[in-house]
A and B are shown apart, each in its own frame.
Chain A
Amino acid sequence: MSDTDRGILSTFDRRGRGVRAGMSFVHVLLFGGLVVAGLGPILWLGKAAVTSTQDTITQPIALWPHGIDWANLTQAWFEVHIDQYFLNTVVIAVGSWLFSLALATTAGYGLSVLRPRYAGILNGAVLATLFVPSVVLLVPLYLTIVHPPVGQSLLNNYLAVWLPAAANAFNILLVKRFFDNLPREVFEAARTDGAGPIRLFWSIVLPMSRPILGVVSVFAIIASLKDYLWPMLVLPDPAVQPLGVRLPAIQSQVELDVFLAALAISTIIPIVLFLAFQRVFLRSAGLGGAVKG
């Protein structure tokens, strides 16, 4: 009875015949359902990427194609210039990631550790933006990009994507909360040893903050890979657009099999990242709900 990591069912329940049969049934159903719904579309896309158009249209759910058509992938990559858009996607994601990380850590450090007099007001001003729905920003932010306060229009400039991505109150809040819980004694010890604020930040605070840096990284990169409307608006030139923005436009220009190959290529980066950093992803997802409240 005193099983500490028990759930709804007790060990006693689990011994019952009805419950055991019921749970096996639920397992099979749950696993089958998750495979079909979660993995199914991706596997289908993977198959369609190397299947001829004719085959995909006439027998969309055939398990095995009639002959594999690798040419789809090379055609999508070279002739439709997915290579270029793929590179743009990477550049946009890496830039958003670096800017978000740099801003969130410096701001979090300033607000949590250095804490000047005006930190309270700043913190409030950052938090307040969390309550403004993003739709309010759309038009005025676009006009800011067209006519920035200094310099030329930022249209077709990646800064137009990177900088607004970095202005993310949620990331700053996460980092600040993490820094708030770091042991103050360590900072005091470092200060007595003569470490200045920059050294304290770089050699003490950052190395202690790996877990939260991972979470912010996942948020920043995934948000960048998922975004559509904003990059579409501020990057009107196809030559600088990421894959996500190009795909709807490409659809009408190429054959179905090549298009599906292009779709499949676009899922590679996020899926590889997810498989490689699964734990950070799932932890971030759980955290998202906890902190947003």
Chain B
Amino acid sequence: MKRTPLTWYRGGGLSNLLFLTPMIIVFAVFSWSPIVRSFVMSFQKTNLITTSWVGLDNFENVLTDPLLGTAVVNTLYFAVLALIFGFPVPLLLAVLMSEVKRGKGVYSALAYLPVVIPPVVAVLLWKFFYDASPTGVFNTMLGWVGIAPQPWLQSSASAMPSLVIEATWAAAGGSIIIYLAALLSVPPELYDAAEVDGASVWRKVWHVTLPQLRGVVFIMLILQVIATAQVFLEPFLFTGGGPNNATVTVLMLIYRYAFQNSLGGNYGEATALSVMLAIVLAVLSFAYFRVTERWSST
């Protein structure tokens, strides 16, 4: 049959379009075109009135910015610390919580509560907890066990770990719930079989539970890396990047280029750095999935 406007209309073409148009418009304006524009703008210089092509100038300027190295190292440091603090703890808690028979809901709710608190509130509250004077909340607690007051956010050595502790506290609940869901799907027969072979509790955890969680753990790891590579709120509100640039992250640098520039926003350099970060993350995720795929299949 020949397709004419009439057959299109009779086939429900108009109502199809009616349902899909909102999505097409909203995505075109607020998602697809900004993504394309981001790549285009990284080769341009613009002051919103006139725009000119500048080739690779933006990339060159960003790469020669003396702060970039610091920001990259800080971001990596944050990501690594977040993995060390924030990865084993939720996993361990989830495994323990899954063995609780009564009141499971209460445990889950308690663990998830910090996730519900708006991050701004959490950061501002923790900023008070981190008060460096001996009467600060955490310093008082340390005093109970005889540890001297810590400078927390005030020193460049302890500022980043302090940020990560708060970020871990804020995010752990979400990971715990995801691991709990994954633990429910471990087939009970596997434990039965392990017991027939005379496995102890620890051997069951090590040889059955953890291998069964492998898929979820791999995904959570890469998602966490992607999220921490874009960390902004904690350094921005806790320390503003200080002390001594010890907590300047890549996204803070992007923010400074675009929105805290006294000479007007340097949108070209900001997008150039965002594009580079996105490419690094894409390459990293791709390589990661190739490698973990091999591990998962063996």
Q: Tell me the dominant secondary structure on chain A's binding face.
A: helix
Residues A233 and B16 in contact, CB atoms below 8 Å apart: no
Give the docked Cα–Cα distance between A230 and B245 (Å): 24
Give the docked Cα–Cα distance between A106 and B15 (Å): 11
Residues A135 and B27 in contact, CB atoms below 8 Å apart: no
In the complex, which of the residues B13, B33, B118 contacts A116, with contact meaning CB atoms closer than 8 Å? B13
Give B147 Cβ to nearest chain A Cβ, in Å: 15
Chain B CB within 8 A of A261 CB: no
Mask of B77-118 contacts with A, CB within 8 angstroms, 1/0: 000000000000000010111111000010111111111111
Residues A141 and B34 in contact, CB atoms below 8 Å apart: yes
Residues B110 and A38 in contact, CB atoms below 8 Å apart: yes
Chain B CB within 8 A of A87 CB: no
Chain B CB within 8 A of A209 CB: no
Chain B CB within 8 A of A189 CB: no
Count residues on chain A whose CB falls below 8 Å from chain B CBs: 105
In the complex, which of the residues B17, B100, B188, B278 contacts A27, with contact meaning CB atoms closer than 8 Å? B100
Name the A residues within 8 Å of B204 (CB-CB).
8
Chain A CB within 8 A of B148 CB: no
Residues A282 and B112 in contact, CB atoms below 8 Å apart: yes
Query: With A139-B258, A144-B34 given, is the CB distance from A35 to B117 under 8 Å?
Result: no
Query: With A116-B13, A263-B124, A293-B215 given, is the CB distance from A137 to B35 under 8 Å?
Result: yes
Chain A CB within 8 A of B150 CB: no
Chain A CB within 8 A of B76 CB: no
Give A206 Cβ to nearest chain B Cβ, in Å: 12
Query: With A13-B201, A138-B254 given, is the CB distance from A289 to B219 under 8 Å?
Result: yes
Give B162 Cβ to nearest chain A Cβ, in Å: 15
Among residues of B, the one whose C-beta sits closest to the C-beta of A19 is B201
Chain B CB within 8 A of A203 CB: no
Give the docked Cα–Cα distance between A57 and B17 (Å): 61
Q: Tell me the dominant secondary structure on chain B's binding face.
A: helix
Residues B23 and A247 in contact, CB atoms below 8 Å apart: no
Mask of A103-137 contacts with B, CB within 8 angstroms, 1/0: 10011011100101001001001100101111111
Query: With A37-B169, A107-B23, A110-B19 given, is the CB distance from A144 to B33 under 8 Å?
Result: yes
Among residues of A, the one whose C-beta sits closest to the C-beta of B36 is A140
Query: With A58-B135, A134-B230, A267-B121 given, is the CB distance from A289 to B22 under 8 Å?
Result: no
Chain A CB within 8 A of B259 CB: yes
A-B contacts counted at CB < 8 A amount to 282
Residues B278 and A136 in contact, CB atoms below 8 Å apart: yes
Chain A CB within 8 A of B132 CB: no
Residues A136 and B178 in contact, CB atoms below 8 Å apart: no
Mask of A87-106 contacts with B, CB within 8 angstroms, 1/0: 00000000000000011001
Name the A residues within 8 Å of B118 (CB-CB).
225-226, 243-244, 266-267, 270
Residues A38 and B111 in contact, CB atoms below 8 Å apart: yes
Residues A197 and B19 in contact, CB atoms below 8 Å apart: yes
Among residues of B, the one whose C-beta sits closest to the C-beta of A259 is B124
Give the docked Cα–Cα distance between A229 and B120 (Å): 10
Which chain B residues (183-230) contact chain A, with CB distance < 8 Å?
183, 188, 191-192, 195, 201, 204-205, 208-209, 215-216, 219-220, 223, 226, 229-230
Those 9 A-B pairs whose CB atoms lie nearest each other, nearest first: A289-B178, A286-B181, A107-B23, A140-B34, A110-B19, A110-B20, A38-B110, A140-B37, A285-B177
Q: Measuring CB to CB, which residues of chain A are less than 8 angstroms from any residue of chain B?
A: 1-10, 12-13, 19, 23, 26-27, 30-31, 34-35, 37-39, 41-42, 44-45, 57-61, 102-103, 106-107, 109-111, 114, 116, 119, 122, 125-126, 129, 131-144, 146-149, 163-164, 166-167, 169, 172, 196-198, 201, 222, 225-226, 228-229, 233, 243-245, 247-248, 251, 256, 260, 263, 266-267, 270-271, 273-274, 278, 281-282, 285-286, 288-290, 292-293
